[in-house]
Chains A and B, each alone.
Chain A
Amino acid sequence: MEQIQTFIQLLPQQLVNGITLGATYALIALGYTMVYGIIQLINFAHGEVYMIGAFIGLLMVVYFKVNFFIAIICAILVCVPLAVLIERVAYRPLRGSTRLAPLISALGVSLFLQTLMTLIMGPNAQPFPRIVKDTIYTVGTVKFSLVQVVILLVSSVLMVALHMIVKYTKVGKAMRATSESYETANLMGININRIISFTFAIGAALAGAGGVLVGMYFNSIHPLMGVIVGLKCFCAAVLGGIGSIPGAMLGGVFLGVAEVMGVALGFGTYRDAIAFALLILVLLLKPTGILGKPIQRKV
């Protein structure tokens, strides 16, 4: 009884923590959902793009003593060409191949980047220096740290920017058209290859930024950090409805809150299982995710 009371007292605080964590998940989940929406591929290497973003941030902060804002920009500048290159080398030649071939190729890229970064940076976790002051703001019973404010602000700005791009720009319209149908988009004069590269670029930018933010939040990064987070964020994308941009945001935040709540309720050791349990549950109830479109069986 007492436990439940403390839980309810702490609920607003947990929500804030959950939403902050969820915002970083959402940034990564967006890359999965956009790529899946356009080429129906689980881009297993996306988690590694996020990991590399975090390491670029670390390098910039440690060696060039830049502030977090410049660090994020630099991470984005490295991750974008990396992701475009991955698509060009490992996925494009496999378009129109079997369903499994690009998946195996994606796994290969993911493993390659993990091994490469382990060779360069060593297998151990690296401390991420505190580049944002430890200031704490208190609103009622809820405490916000400055890092949390930064994360929430940066990710909101990025997500609003993404929304604007997809909704209002020409290239955004082309993206939506391509995800509906390759052939029709092609007939309309859309350069499919460019749109796919662009989709990878946007996803990578968000993931790179996410990497730096997570490094700042948890103060520790690792060459294998992209594996579990990547899988969990793919789950978040599926939870929200794969292919749907608002779905990925919702799924990410939902997952973040669920994890923090799970830990608060004493399931800390099961933390990484929460995403998968939620995923299985949602898929069984609504196979296309919370905001996914229903699939009509085609004969």
Chain B
Amino acid sequence: MESIIGFFNDPYINQVLTLTGIYLITALGLHLITGITGQFSFGHAGFMSIGAYTAALLSLHLETPFILNVFIGGLAAGFAGTLLGFPSLRLTGDYLGITTLGFAEIVRIVFINLNITGGARGLAGIPRDTNFTIVLLLAVLSIICMYRIHNSRFGRALTAIREDELAAEAMGINTLLYKVKAFAIGTFFAGIGGGLYAHLIQYLNPADFGVSRSFELLNFVVLGGLGSVPGTILGTTVLTLAPEFLRFVKEYRMLIYSALMVTMMIFRPHGLLGGVNFRKLFLDLVHRIMAQLAKTKNVGGK
């Protein structure tokens, strides 16, 4: 027991785990947009940065409570997502992807040019209010939210859009409105993640929210298993922790990582857990154990 507490108290491990939780919250937002609703977003980091800067600036200048700032950061990102969503969600597939990417790049360049954000030098001195407990709590809450959305009229409408947008519309679903809603919620999660990130790292730089970060988040969602919450959890955890374990290969780390992206897609294009039905697996397992138990009982009876 003591060693477990010691493990979590180790500042390095604590930091890495907290960061993983933050990325998970952010990635769950993208899971809703891309995994559930089937809409491409290549600019998720841009929305994360909107939440991060909003929350950080509130903390620095207005000194409002931390959790409130993070929440407002989430709302700001969600608002930006809605604003972008209404015109651009008429576009489909790659067009939407590239538009979101462009939007995130514009946001990044604006943050470089603004004075209040500290420009390219970055924004320092943000209080360290994020801790592992809060992140764990919010991550669990996010996972519950995802499951509840998934098993609802709302979530089914989103899945219908992913499966066949035209048929979804013929079923009475206002597809544009639902896509915008999915985008708003997904970007809200990104904003929450950003606010938590700002108060963990204590320093923000627009360069941290560029294209590569957006694609990294996409990897979290796709490599674990697109459309699956356990997949997103697995993808985020493995891909956040892997670089820490791969420190010994130093500069070859990214080479391995990128080669893995290609091989993964060739051998498991749906991701590690894509297409795995956990409920069915669990039921099968229970079935098998019961059968085994019955068998041993019979043998024992003889």
A residues within 8 Å of B by Cβ? 36, 40, 42, 89-90, 93-94, 97-105, 107-112, 115-116, 119, 227, 231, 234-235, 238, 269-270, 272-273, 275-277, 279-280, 283-284, 287, 297, 299
Given A109-B258, A109-B262, A270-B110, output 6 extra A-B contacts at Cβ < 8 Å.
A89-B262, A100-B222, A108-B258, A111-B257, A283-B91, A299-B166
A sample of 20 inter-chain contacts (CB < 8 A) reads: A94-B269, A97-B269, A100-B34, A100-B218, A108-B261, A109-B262, A111-B258, A111-B261, A112-B259, A115-B251, A119-B252, A119-B255, A231-B101, A238-B95, A269-B112, A272-B109, A277-B106, A283-B88, A287-B95, A297-B166
Q: Which residues of B contact A90 (CB under 8 A)?
A: 262, 266
Query: Which 4 A/B pairs are nearest by Cβ-Cβ distance?
Result: A108-B261, A276-B102, A111-B258, A101-B269
- Say yes or no: B106 contacts A112, CB within 8 Å: no
Measuring CB to CB, which residues of chain B are less than 8 angstroms from any residue of chain A?
A: 34, 40, 87-88, 90-91, 93-95, 97-99, 101-103, 105-106, 109-110, 112-113, 166, 211-212, 215, 218-219, 222-223, 226, 251-252, 254-255, 257-262, 264-266, 269-270
Whether A115 touches B255, Cβ cut-off 8 Å, given contacts A94-B265, A97-B269, A276-B106, is yes
A36 to B93, CA, bound (A): 13
CB distance from A113 to the nearest CB of B (A): 8
Report the minimal beta-carbon distance from A222 to chain B, rounded to whole angstroms: 15
Q: Are A108 and B101 in contact (CB under 8 A)?
A: no
Q: Which of A105, A108, A111, A276 is B105 in contact with, Cβ under 8 Å?
A: A276
Q: Assuming A94-B269, A111-B261, A112-B258, is B88 touching A100 (CB within 8 A)?
A: no
Known: A90-B262, A104-B261, A111-B258. A235 touches B112 (CB 8 A): no
Residues of B within 8 A of A284 (CB): 87-88
Assess A104 versus B265: contact at CB under 8 Å? Given A98-B226, A98-B270, A270-B113.
Answer: yes
Instruction: Kindly name the residue among A89, A112, A297 whose own CB sees the greatest number of chain B CB atoms within 10 A.
Output: A112
A102 contacts B265, C-beta separation under 8 Å: yes
CA distance A112 to B106 in the complex (A): 26
> With A269-B112, A299-B166 in contact, do A111 and B270 touch (Cβ < 8 Å)?
no
Measured in the bound complex, the distance between the Cα atoms of B88 and A133 in whole Å is 47
A39 to chain B, nearest CB (A): 12
Contact assessment for B255 and A280 in the assembled complex, using a CB-CB cutoff below 8 Å: no
Q: Is the CB of B265 within 8 A of A105?
A: yes
Q: Which residues of B contact A270 (CB under 8 A)?
A: 109-110, 113
Q: Which residues in B have their C-beta under 8 angstroms from that of A277? A: 102, 106
The reply to whether A42 and B98 contact each other, CB–CB distance below 8 Å, is yes
Decide yes or no: A238 and B98 within 8 Å by CB, A108-B265, A115-B258, A287-B91 being known contacts. Answer: yes
Q: Do A279 and B261 contact each other (CB < 8 Å), given the known contacts A104-B218, A227-B211?
A: no
A102 and B105 CA atoms in complex are apart in Å by: 23
Query: How far is A276 from B110 in the complex, measured between Cα atoms in Å?
Result: 12
Asked if residues A231 and B265 are in contact (CB atoms below 8 Å), the reply is no
A44, chain B: closest CB distance, angstroms? 9
Give the CA-CA distance A227 to B261 in the complex, in Å: 18
In chain B, what residue has the closest Cβ to A113?
B258
Q: For residue A227, which residues in chain B have a CB less than 8 angstroms away from its CB?
A: 211-212
Measured CB to CB, the nearest residue on chain B to A224 is B212
Closest residue of B by beta carbon distance from A108:
B261
Q: Which residues of A contact B94 (CB under 8 A)?
A: 36, 40, 42, 103
> By the criterion CB–CB under 8 Å, are A234 and B98 in contact?
yes
CA distance A103 to B110 in the complex (A): 27
- A104→B102 contact, CB < 8 A: no
Q: How far is the CA of A107 from the CA of B223 in the complex (A)?
A: 13
In the complex, A297 Cα to B222 Cα: how many Å? Answer: 28
Contact A119 B98, CB 8 Å, known A98-B226, A287-B90: no
User: A33 vs B95: C-alpha distance in the bound complex, in angstroms?
Assistant: 13
Q: Which residue of A lies closest to B268 (CB)?
A: A101
Determine the chain A residues whose CB is within 8 A of the CB of B270 once the complex forms. Answer: 98, 101
Whether A119 contacts B112 in the complex (CB less than 8 A), given A100-B34, A108-B258, comes out as no
Q: Is the CB of B88 within 8 A of A280?
A: yes
Instruction: Tell me the bound Cα distance from A40 to B218 in angstroms.
Output: 19
In contact, B269 and A98 (Cβ under 8 angstroms): yes
Tell me the complex Cα distance, A125–B302, Å. 80
Min C-beta distance of A95 to chain B, whole Å:
11
Cβ contacts under 8 Å, B105 to chain A: 231, 272-273, 276
Closest B residue by C-beta to A279: B102
- Complex CA distance for A275 and B257, rounded to whole angstroms: 30
Min Cβ gap B113→A in Å is: 5
Q: How many Å from the CB of A273 to the closest CB on chain B?
A: 4
Which residue on B lies nearest to A116, using beta carbons?
A: B255
Most buried by A among B34, B95, B219: B95
Chain A residue nearest to B263 (CB atoms) is A108
> Measured between alpha carbons, how far is A89 from B255 in the docked complex, in Å?
16
The CA-CA distance from A109 to B266 in the complex, in Å, is 13
Residues of B within 8 A of A234 (CB): 98
The answer to whether B255 and A269 have CB atoms under 8 Å apart is no
- Chain B residues whose C-beta falls within 8 Å of the C-beta of A97 in the assembled complex: 265, 269
| Residue of B97, B109, B259 touching A108 (CB-CB under 8 A) | B259
- Complex Cα–Cα for A184 and B21 (A): 50
Compute how far the CA of A90 lies from the CA of B219 in the bound complex, rounded to whole angstroms. 16
